[in-house]
Amino acid sequence: EVQVVQSGAEVKKPGEALKISCKASGYSFTNYWIGWVRQMPGKGLEWMGIIFPGDSETRYSPSFQGQVTMSADKSISTAYLHWSSLKASDTAMYYCVSLYASGNWGQGTLVTVSS
Amino acid sequence: QSALTQPASVSGSPGQSITISCTGTSSDVGSYNLVSWYQQHPGKAPKLMVYEGSKRPSGVSNRFSGSKSGNTASLTISGLQADDEADYYCCSYAGSLYVFGTGTKVTVL
């Protein structure tokens, strides 16, 4: 059974760093792209980018280039989304999506940035 | 990449059929048969309803069907039910990345 499990909710202050995780299982992690999707409060879905865990090739949507960093650790089948300096506008739900088969979504990680 | 264009809202009575459009360009919807549709209820993660244009995942009702013509994809919900009231998003492959639609709120009258 394919499972995509994300790390828990985070509450951070502006300027702090954060890395959230996404652990996939039930398929060959290195052979399928993993994507990240943002959903700001009351708003629609936005593709942030995708990463290929086999060689860590990354593709960022223009709006997110330079704002976040995607990475992956093949040894533990886990993908990450990292911010070096959070802003209040980063407050959102973040979903990890494995592009294996027809797609498998994580449960989402709520990130709240507030002073 | 610009978001795909969907109507902000669509409504229908129980039992009726409704269609949600998703308009893109020749660089996304028009070039690939890789449009998917998601249903999202408040506070829940999106649920895949249609993928690769017209395929349904196991467990999804055959009341949901997808199609495409040129740069526009469509999701039709037949036999509308109360539980179909939700937000719906289309998504297309766009050559190296993916792009979502603007989202449509479906209301069951």
Gap between the Cα atoms of B81 and A69, Å rounded = 42
> pLDDT tens-digit profile of B50-61?
999 999 999 999
> pLDDT tens-digit profile of A24-33?
999 999 999 9
> pLDDT tens-digit profile of B37-91?
999 999 999 999 999 999 999 999 999 999 999 999 999 999 999 999 999 999 9
Kindly list the residues from chain A whose CB atom is less than 8 angstroms away from the CB atom of residue B2: none
Amino acid at A63: S
What integer is the mean pLDDT of B8-33? 96
Starting at the earlier edge strand, list the strands of the sheet with A69-73. Answer: A3-6, A18-25, A78-83, A69-73
Listed by number, the residues of chain B in 69-98 with a beta carbon closer than 8 Å to a beta carbon of chain A are: 87, 89, 91, 96-98
Query: Which residue, among B8, B18, B41, has the nearest Cα to B109 in the 3D structure?
Result: B18
A43–chain B nearest CA distance, Å: 9
Q: Which of B1, B57, B100 faces A102 most closely, judged by CB atoms?
A: B57
> Which of A3, A43, A45 would best serve as a mutation to test chain B binding (most B beta carbons within 10 A)?
A45
